[in-house]
Amino acid sequence: MVQELEFEKPIIDLRKKIHELKEITKKADVDLSSEIEKLERRLQNLEEEIYFNLQPWDRVQIARHPNRPTTLDYIDYLFEDFFELHGDRVFGDDEAIVGGIAKYKGRPVTVIGHQRGKDTKENIRRNFGMPHPEGYRKALRLMKQADKFNRPIICFIDTKGAYPGKAAEERGQSEAIARNLFEMGGFTVPIICIVIGEGGSGGALGIGVGNRVYMLENSIYSVISPEGAASILWKDATQAKRAAESMKITATDLREMGIIEGIIPEVRGGAHHNVEEQSKIIDSVLEKALIELSHLSQEELIEQRYDKYAKIGVFFEKEPTEIK
Amino acid sequence: MLKDIFSKNKKKYATIPVTPSKSDVPVGIMTKCPECKKAMFTKELEQHFMVCSHCDYHFPIGAIDRLNLVLDEGSFVELDAQLESENPLSFPGYKEKLEKDKVKSGVNEAIVTGTGTIDNRLVVIAVMDSNFRMGSMGSVVGEKIKRAIEKADELKVPFIIFTASGGARMQEGVLSLMQMAKTSVALKRFSDHGGLIITVMTHPTTGGVSASFASLGDYNFAEPGALIGFSGRRIIEQTIREKLPDDFQTAEFQLQHGQLDAIIHRKDMKEKLSLIVELHSYGGEE
Ligand SMILES: [Zn+2]
């Protein structure tokens, strides 16, 4: 059973009404077919109207939907022989990040991603997909391995952020994230990152420096959560909807700012409506990207990544001032 | 001797055409230390590198004062002062805040970059200024750091950065987040070319700055008492529902947890940096 979202309510209500009318037709001897037909047409229009005009806050809801497919869901559909690998070899194994080796179209790849839980029990085990330093260090270990054995790295981004905890600070959360950004700049293999849910700040970016970065249509990527932004800007976390609109966090916004290479369309109503179909859409984008990047040499891959990030930013440059 | 350089340089600003930062220099004859609450002569405080002579509290100082403290007199040449922030998210009031901070801090962005010498050895230096938008990192800060790193690479000289920042600049949204990647990737290339990276974290160094270039030095130093960490204390306390110890996320805490090479007192800063630079110029001296 798919949990409904607030903006979907008119659709759900109309569906219910059509269902009721159909029930009545079955039981009583009345012909409501023209009425039903009319309502079904209206439903179609309504679906198009709502799903094609999703507002930033609607997308935040979809991105956070409890049934939204996670990294492991996509791994199931996209790869064969996924072999999960554990631990950072320093402190422990952080289950908020999963990673391992697998086959993609017969070719070995390294896959890494944030991993949320789908129920309370799993969420506790996975710390709600919010990594500690050991999660980032495990990811780095696996990426170095990929670099050594010359296989592409595919990262799925889906986290509210790096975990803001005492132990995380003690073990160097900052350094762990920083180190990943630094090292990801130097790998000689293709890196493809796909934001599948929430891209929350530095905790998302910590596995997010790639030759290509894509976002699912209803995913978000932000420097601070809409709630966090609202409480700073208007001292009121309930203004999150307003913050979501002004912070430019949707896939379209990021595409326009030149931060991501592409938007991956979602099945109607969001990825959770059909994981299999959604995986096929991701598959076609991923395959194309890997083929394109396979034409680049090791040096060119580093160069392309460098240039991509070097260009990001909006500023004004006056004529250089005379220096005495 | 260091004291002399500092006091002599106090009002001379090398080749930088900017006025000294107003908020750094306490007004009045006496200044009260916010840490030990003792009062001292402002003039004396200035002669002591803005460090409390009673409790060693390091008063925050602006970028210009910092440059005067570590570089040889008159050696600084500023880079990329012509870069100015835009308002990419059309944030209400952002432009006005930038203008106000320019006046308040005496610098035109949260970072000043350039070349200069330390005991006659050329370096590229970047200094953040927490008086400007709390030292937050937006597009200009990221771009200036990237260009400074590329300059150090081109000149084959060390890159030194003093950090002082609350993190990413919210008004530039995810563009500011991406500056973390931009600066880190630039450091990686410089590092792969053999470049020397020295970071000095000053109060405060948190969030996206702490989680990018600030932590990526070959040598990571800090000033005593500086607040250094990823997440804010209040958020952590709310998350774990417990009170954090007073020394949490101080430079001393980070040293104890293996995140720093050393804590350096402001009065020794130039001497120590000079030594590190010297130790890396063996065989490469012109
Ligand atoms: Zn004091």
pLDDT in tens, A274-317: 999 999 999 999 999 999 999 999 999 999 999 999 999 999 99
| CB-CB neighbors (< 8 A) of B13 in chain A | none
Q: Cα(A127)–Cα(B200) distance, rounded to whole angstroms?
A: 33
φ, ψ at B75 (rounded to 5°)? -90, -10
Question: Please, which residues 57-86 of chain B have a Cβ atom closer than 8 Å to chain A?
Answer: 77-78, 81-86
Instruction: Please indicate whether, in this complex, the C-beta atoms of B185 and A168 are within 8 angstroms of each other.
Output: no
Q: E strands, B62-138, where?
A: 77-79, 83-85, 111-118, 121-128
Residue A318 is predicted with a pLDDT of 83
Q: Cα(A235)–Cα(A42) distance, rounded to whole angstroms?
A: 41
| CB-CB neighbors (< 8 A) of A170 in chain B | 257
Burial pattern B2-26, b for ≥16 Cβ within 10 A else e, equals eeebbeebeeebbebebeebeebbe
pLDDT in tens, B159-214: 999 999 999 999 999 999 999 999 999 999 999 999 999 999 999 999 999 999 99
Residue A111 CB partners (closer than 8 Å, separation 6+): A71, A75, A79, A82, A99, A100, A101, A102, A154, A155, A156
Instruction: Please indicate whether, in this complex, the C-beta atoms of A205 and B88 are within 8 angstroms of each other.
Output: no
Q: Is B36 annotated as a binding residue?
A: yes
φ, ψ at B98 (rounded to 5°)? -60, -45
E strand or H helix that includes residue A71: helix A71-78
Residue A240 CB partners (closer than 8 Å, separation 6+): A57, A60, A225, A226, A227, A229, A230
| Mutation site, B84, B180, B201, B253, interface A, largest A CB count within 10 A | B180
Ligand 1 centre and the CA of B263: distance in Å?
A: 18
Instruction: Please indicate whether, in this complex, the C-beta atoms of A169 and B176 are within 8 angstroms of each other.
Output: no
**Closest Cβ–Cβ partner in A174, A246, A257 for B211:** A174
Judge: domain B60-279, CATH 3.90.550.10: no
The pairing of strands B30-32 and B39-41 is antiparallel
| Mutation site, B184, B189, B248, interface A, largest A CB count within 10 A | B184
For the stretch A264-269, contacts whose Cβ atoms lie closer than 8 Å and that sit 24 or more positions apart, written own/partner, are: A264/A194, A264/A214, A264/A215, A264/A216, A264/A217, A265/A217, A266/A62, A266/A216, A266/A217, A266/A218, A268/A47, A268/A51, A269/A8, A269/A47, A269/A51, A269/A62
> Both tokens of residue A225?
């959560």
Task: Name the residue of chain A whose CA is nearest to B231's CA.
Answer: A164
**Domain layout of chain B by residue ranges:** 60-279
Instruction: Please indicate whether, in this complex, the C-beta atoms of B211 and A173 are within 8 angstroms of each other.
Output: yes
The SS3 of residue B29 is coil
CA within 13 Å, CB half, B4: 1
Instruction: Please indicate whether, in this complex, the C-beta atoms of A174 and B259 are within 8 angstroms of each other.
Output: yes
Ligand 1 centre and the CA of B36: distance in Å?
A: 4
Q: How far is CA B231 from CA A51, A115, A153, A166, in A?
A: 36, 21, 28, 9
Residues with CB under 5 A from ligand 1 (ion): B 33, 35-36, 52, 54-55, 57
pLDDT in tens, B60-102: 999 999 999 999 999 999 999 999 999 999 998 999 999 999 9
pLDDT in tens, B130-147: 999 999 999 999 999 999
Q: Cα(B60)–Cα(B131) distance, rounded to whole angstroms?
A: 9
Torsion, Cα B197 B201 B206 B211, to 10 degrees, reads: 20
Q: E strands, A57-173, where?
A: 80-84, 97-104, 107-114, 153-159
Residue A25 is predicted with a pLDDT of 85
Q: Cα(B130)–Cα(B190) distance, rounded to whole angstroms?
A: 26
Chain A contact for B234 (CB, 8 A cutoff): no
Residue B183: burial class (beta carbons within 10 Å; 0-12, 13-18, 19+): buried
CA angle, corner B237, sides to B232 and B238, nearest 5?
100
Instruction: Please indicate whether, in this complex, the C-beta atoms of B189 and A184 are within 8 angstroms of each other.
Output: no
Q: Cα(A145)–Cα(A136) distance, rounded to whole angstroms?
A: 14
φ, ψ at A221 (rounded to 5°)? -145, 120
DSSP for B210-231, please give it: HTTGGG--SEEEE-TT-BEESS
Residue A324 to chain B, least CA–CA distance (Å): 7
Higher pLDDT, residue A98 or B9: A98
Chain A contact for B239 (CB, 8 A cutoff): yes
| Mutation site, A127, A312, A324, interface B, largest B CB count within 10 A | A312
The pLDDT averaged over each successive group of 10 residues in chain A (324 residues) is 79 91 83 88 90 92 95 98 98 98 98 96 96 98 98 98 97 98 98 98 98 98 92 86 94 97 96 96 98 98 98 89 52
pTM (predicted TM-score): 0.92
**Closest Cβ–Cβ partner in B78, B174, B180 for A248:** B174
